Amino acid sequence: MAQPSDNSSSPARNEALTPLPDSARAFRWHDHASLWFSLGVGLLVMQVGAYLVPAVGTRDAVVAILLGSCVGAGLLAWTARLGCESGLASAGLMHATYGSAFARLPVLLNIVQLVGWTTFEIVVMREGTQAIGKQAFGLALDSTTGMLLTTLLWGAVLLALLAGSMVKLVRRFVSRFGLPLVVISLVWLTWQFAGQLNAKGFEAFWSRAGDGSMGMFSALDLVIAMPVSWLPLVADYARHGQRSGGGLGSAFSGTWVGYLVANIWCYALGVMVVSSADTGTSLVTAILLAQGGLLALGLILVDELDNAYGDVYSGAVSTHSLLPQWSVKQWGLLIGALCVVLALFLPMHALEPFLLLLSSVFVPLYGVILGRLGTGVAPTQVGTRRVDWSAAAIWIIGIVLYHSLAKWAPQFGSALPTLLLTFVTAWLSRAPATGGASALAQSRG
């Protein structure tokens, strides 16, 4: 099998802005689906699901989860198809849409948000480990020494994974071993908390009303925010999909099915946990108190590791696109070490505003990218244009619109109107295409 691009022996070659050749592509449908199911599973997703019930009530929370997951996973799948078709990484798609000079801004923002997400993931794994240590062994791992040791433990494992091959990690570990273990843990937790809800009365659970602190469309925005946070990463993996034998369709359907199932399942599990637990009980504590919860939480924490890996790998690809003198692997190790240090000083808090802030940037960003690239033949080069002023203007207007709607018209939501406006405007403002190529490919020569 050909070696993936993250193991290139030529650090000066800009791998992120060069289409991946067919000889280096190894992912099939199962690999796409396994990867995005695994990335869709996490304690962060469950915690967001737990936020929804007190605010909007059970029924509205379920509606928001189903609709938001379908839309969010669909956007991921659409972008995955674009990445597979073009062979470009996410940074390459940004360069192709916004021009080589202006694209540096969204690439930098992507790097910042990926560092933030990785730090959050390390903190989640640390706090989960501390809870397991206290519950199972009576260890006070929440002390300064315990925090240091658990952070460094997960950081060391993350760095060890980054030293290897991304393609081999996905195909040999995630697909063959990680996925079955995570599915078993989710099935067990679902069974346990469904039993608790049934004992308390399903009707009371289903008819629970919200406190009105969040509207239906605001809840939808919050659900969409989670898959949207993965949009700047998906092409970095989808470009490894095989194009022969229906590979493009495999990238699309594998990504959509994998992430959709995981996202709905974890959001719904968060709803079930918060609805069955006593008031004031944290999500992690409630899971630990369930029968078999210790083992299930341990497996979910192990799966959380690939979320951190996915963030760092894509952050490394994006950084390499700006500074190709260092290889993707070298940047990955450096970014991973930085996130471990940040996890020692940055506590996990204010998750909801953080997610919504990311959406305000990346919803319009990818509305423009999909409007320009997603409706024709994808470009196979990033082009020579330095700034596409119309694309840049649409993106900035989209960010303003997102925040304006959130402030003055929250009843309409922010994500869907912004996405629709930026997509349509970007599509209508494309340069006319000829000869079967996309408008962008033509305008970039």
What value does the mean pLDDT take over residues 278-293? 84
pTM for this prediction: 0.88
The structure tokens 């050909």 sit at: 2
Identify the weakest region by mean pLDDT among 60-64, 94-98, 284-288, 435-439.
Answer: 435-439
pLDDT class for 10, splitting at 50, 70, 90? very low
List domains and CATH numbers for the chain: 29-352 (1.10.4160.10)
The strand pairing partners of 57, in sequence order, are 209
Q: What is the pLDDT of residue 124?
A: 85
- Residue 106: name the closest of 321, 382, 417 by CA: 321
* Tens digit of each residue's pLDDT (9 = 90 or more) over 43-65: 888 988 888 988 899 999 999 99
Centre a 10 Å sphere on the Cβ of residue 404 and count the other Cβ atoms it contains: 12
- Residue 386: name the closest of 87, 104, 39 by CA: 104
Complete DSSP assignment for 158-172: HHHHHTS-HHHIIII
Percent of the chain scored above 90 by pLDDT?
52
3-state SS assignment for residue 110: helix
pLDDT class for 9, splitting at 50, 70, 90? very low
* Tens digit of each residue's pLDDT (9 = 90 or more) over 152-183: 999 999 999 999 888 888 777 777 777 888 89
Centre a 10 Å sphere on the Cβ of residue 289 and count the other Cβ atoms it contains: 15
Cα 179 from Cα 167, distance rounded (Å): 15
Percent of the chain scored above 70 by pLDDT?
89
Q: What is the pLDDT of residue 349?
A: 58
Query: DSSP secondary-structure letter at 11?
Result: T
What value does the mean pLDDT take over residues 296-306? 86
Structure tokens at 413: 């939501």
* Tens digit of each residue's pLDDT (9 = 90 or more) over 13-22: 898 899 999 8
pLDDT class for 97, splitting at 50, 70, 90? very high
Q: What is the pLDDT of residue 3?
A: 39
* Tens digit of each residue's pLDDT (9 = 90 or more) over 318-372: 999 999 999 999 999 999 999 999 999 876 555 557 766 777 899 999 999 999 9
What value does the mean pLDDT take over residues 204-230? 88
pLDDT class for 302, splitting at 50, 70, 90? confident
* Tens digit of each residue's pLDDT (9 = 90 or more) over 404-438: 998 899 888 899 999 999 999 999 998 654 333 33
Identify the weakest region by mean pLDDT among 113-127, 151-165, 171-185, 258-272.
Answer: 171-185
